[in-house]
Structure 1
Amino acid sequence: IDNQESLWHLRDEHIYLGVSKWDIRTKIWDYMEANNLADFPRPVHHRIPNFKGSHQACHAVRELDVFKRTSEIKVDPDKPLEGVRLVTLQARKTLLVPTPRLRTGLFNKIVPPPGATKEILRICATSQGVKDYSVPIGLDAKVQVDLVVVGSVAVSEKGWRIGKGEGFADMEYAMMMSMGAIREDTPVVTIVHDCQVVDIAEELLDDHDLTVDYILTPTRTIKTGCKRPKPQGIIWHKISYEMLERIPILKNLRYREKQAGQDVILKDEHPGFPNARKPADSDENAKTGNTKLQTESTSAQIRQNLCTHNSSQMPIFCHRCWQGNVPAQLCTHI
């Protein structure tokens, strides 16, 4: 009862005190830690929080018609979504996981080894499995995502979502729209603890914020009926040069959209921005970024075929040698 009363106080404050997104995040993180609702890794602050009952909530995705109809699913790499990744692989659907912090591309496709056991599929669904069993997917790949699953720090029954504050889920969605990998009606699902479902003022949302269509918790399945438009693509005037440098794939997408005649002026280039730069003739930079991205992708594919594990730690098979059926004791990689 005390926990429920605390939670309702939390909800009321969102409505009446006009708090910021950061206030909401902090209250959720503090509440989950104080009431021991969080699971590894802890503390949950500054994370998409893993929570007790996450696998139960994740498995509920199997009952959604939007899941049953899909063949290709994008699931974020967050720990509480591990169960969704496992269910997706068990259902023999294509699983795409974003590259961490979008450093080397957008997607990795998880490819379990032939004849993978339940245990191997479980490993494939973990962060280590994403590293060991993934193949990078380039921008030119024919990807058509049928369902998007994201983590959240807080979400409302209306579908308003708050992430951990770095904007990667919003950016990934915008990139998928830009490259034609999703449609406007592609459903978005989030998996959270019941205490993360709170009231959020719509005034806190910006036009780049991603909303959700379904919320799964350990006890509920909520269809939000959200009508607020999702991002229609990358909003270039909110992208800085610094972000462009940190996320090489953005250079590639910007070059493509510029070639198509779209407005790709960056935040730093707008006249109202202090010390605004001139719109860069960035074709060369974009081409360089494109070449670098392709090189990194090729290198990643090469690394995919090389074992980087100490074979003494792999009693049965080395993960990276599995597809070649190389027993761990015969693996000579370092």
Structure 2
Amino acid sequence: MSFCSNRRPLAALALMALGTLMAPLAAHAAYPDKPIRLVVPYPPGGATDVVGRVIANHLSEELKQQVIVENKGGAGGNLGADSVARATPDGYTLLMGAITSHSIMATLEKNRISYKLMDDLAPVATIAAVPLVFVVNPAKVPANNLTELIDYAKKNPGKLTYASSGAGAPQRMAAELFKRQAGVDMLHVPYRGSGPAMTDLVGGQVLTMVETVPASLGFIKSGQLRALAVTMPERISMLPDTPTAAEAGLPGFEVASMFGVLAPAKTPKPIVEQLNAALQKVLVKEDFKAQMLQQGAYAVEPASADAARQRLQKEVDMWAKVIEDAKITVE
């Protein structure tokens, strides 16, 4: 009798324990049962915002739940990223990340930002890439291809000026990577944004730049700038006659401005995998690819969340090396 009596509380405890274990699984199975916030860490209108809104629409369709874009700009994207890093890790707050910019800031501003990119955020999926292109002022720089630009820079050390949209911008980092790989010395002229930089490049106040294709395409087509090479592994449809950097004499030079979705680090793996599966479906949709291309971005091949993390780590490591070698600071 006493044996049976002892079994009852044991059975009750076992049921309670089982219930505790099953509760998270039940919660995950019901996900999502309310709207999801997709934080864009920049003001409306920029590339990250545009990509984020396209993603939000398609992800809403796949998840059968509304995905709401929330712009939270400030501190070069770090304010919005920090807010997601500190959010409840339940899958209802996500970050539309400018992967390349966040990776650069992880090293360049590591003493200023309050979150750690690889520790506090979990990559869900890489979404799109915006290619960069080497452009020169055709009236001022006698270079028709990348090899000639390298030769010109070597013959004129420190005299070839290059513009960027800011000290820590991906465009500046791409140029620094070019300097290191090509073994050339160029003078950096930072601007407050791509617009002013492109204006002075067209006007001849600066001589060259590595800029995003969407920002430079109109000037290239009008003949105001000469395109020398794109930074993607393959030629792109927007500039089909422009060779890749590898084709133009700089093998292994592959740089793009990357975008991806991230979640708070402790978000349960089943939720991350569910989001990743939904985004993989989005990435292969022809209308999504077309919408990305309209913005000058290319949808990437679908991949796992683990692959997205590896891609992010690769970006962080690459730019940390560039920043260290070039002794780049935010000042």
> With structure 2 as the length reference, what TM-score do the two structures score?
0.23
Q: Which structure would you say has the larger RCO, counting Cα contacts within 8 Å and 6 or more residues apart?
A: 2
Higher strand share: 2
Larger Rg: 2
